[in-house]
Amino acid sequence: MKLPQYIAHRGAASCAPENTVASMQRAKALGATWVEFDVQLTKDEAVVVIHDEQVDRTTNGTGKVNAFLLQDVLALDAGSYFDAKF
């Protein structure tokens, strides 16, 4: 008998900021078999885990991901919009 598999969309996005390590760890703790996440390329062609083409909705930044260098994306706050503990 094959056991059901559960896919967590952007991690456990109702428990932690989407597409973050915290969200993926929480999804695993909740029994997810797989985690679906999204990637974008930065201006210097680094791969970053973020759903939207812009950083506006999930970070404290503004603009398109591909207009940022990796170091600038890494400096953004991608958690406190969800809860101060992130």
Tens digit of pLDDT for each residue in 64-75?
999 999 999 999
9 three-class SS: strand
Catalytic residue (one of 8, 9, 27, 42):
9
**Is 9 a catalytic site residue?**
yes
Q: Please report where in the chains the tokens 């456990």 appear, as a residue.
A: 12
**Residue 4 pLDDT > 90:** no
Burial class of residue 34 in the structure, from the number of CB atoms within 10 Å of its CB (0-12 exposed, 13-18 middle, 19+ buried) = exposed
Of how many residues is the chain composed?
Answer: 86
**Is 84 a catalytic site residue?**
no
What's the pLDDT at 3? 80
The residues near 71 (Cβ < 8 Å, ≥ 6 apart) are: none
Find the helix or strand (DSSP H, E) in which 41 lies: strand 39-41
Burial class of residue 71 in the structure, from the number of CB atoms within 10 Å of its CB (0-12 exposed, 13-18 middle, 19+ buried) = exposed
Catalytic residue (one of 28, 38, 43, 51):
51
Give the integer Cα–Cα distance in Å for 50 and 42. Answer: 11
Q: Summarize pLDDT for 9-53 with one digit per residue, the tens.
A: 999 999 999 999 999 999 999 999 999 999 999 999 999 999 999
What's the pLDDT at 2? 84
The whole model's pTM is what?
0.83
